[in-house]
Structure 1
C-alpha cells in the first residue's frame, strides 16, 4: 500500500483547468446513494452517474460508470468488460488505495489517483448520450458537471484508456 496522499477536489479542478476542460461544481450535503442524490436533479442538469468498483478472480479491477438509474447485470457484465471471471465488488481498502475515495464517493474522477493504472475504466455508452455528465469531485459533498467528451479527455490525460461499452441492461 502506498503512502501517497489522494488528490483533493482542488487538485482535480487544477488538473481539469490545465487541460482546458470547463467544469462547474455545486456543493451540497453529503450523499451516499443515488436515492439520496435525486433531490438535486432540478438544480444540476445532465446525466447523473452511478459507479461500480468491481474485480474479477484474478484481481483485475474495473470502474463501471453508468447512468444513475441503469441496471448492470453483475452475473454477465464480465463478458462485456473483458474480465477473467464474474465480478464482485472491490474492497473499500482497494478503493482508497487505487482511486483515493471512500464508498459513497466513487467517481470516474478517481482515476486521477490511479497512477499505477490498476483500474480499467468503463463508461456506459448510454451515459455518453448525455451532453453533460455529473460526477462527485472525489468526495460526496459536491457534484461536478463536465461535458461527456471532456470526461473522456480527462480519463485519457490520466494515462487511462476509457472504454465506452454497453454495460447496462
Structure 2
C-alpha cells in the first residue's frame, strides 16, 4: 500500500510540474501576443526627449483648458489652446509638411525629418483641431453653452489618442 501511495504521489508531482510548465508556456504566449504593435519612431535620444516634453506640454494644456472652461472662461481657454496647441503654437512647427528652421532653430525641421509622414499628419490634425476649439471657445459667452467648444476639444484629444495608438517613442 505504501508503494502505491508513493507512486500516486510521484505521478501527482509530475502532473503538477507538467501543469506548471503548461501554465508558464501559456503565460509566455500571452505576453508575446500582448506585444506593443505600435510603430516605433526612430529618432536620436535628445530628440525623443524633446518630443515627449512637447507631448506632456500638450497634456498640461488640455488640463489647463478644462480648468478654465469649468469657470466659464471661453476666451481664456481659447488663448491657452492657440498658444500651446493650435496651428500657431511652437509645438506645431515639427508637424508642418514643409517644416523649416526658424525662431525655434533647427529642432522642428530635424524632428520632422524623423517622424513618419502619417504621424506628422496626425499631429497636424491635432493642432488644426485645437485651433477649431479656440474658435468655438471664443464664441462662448461668460456662462454660455460650452458644448460646441467641448465637442471640438474632444476631437482634439481624439487626434492625440490616434497618434499615441499608432506610434511610440522608446
TM over 0.5: no
**TM-score (ref. length: structure 2):** 0.23
Structure with the largest fraction of strand = 1
**Bigger Rg over Cα:** 2
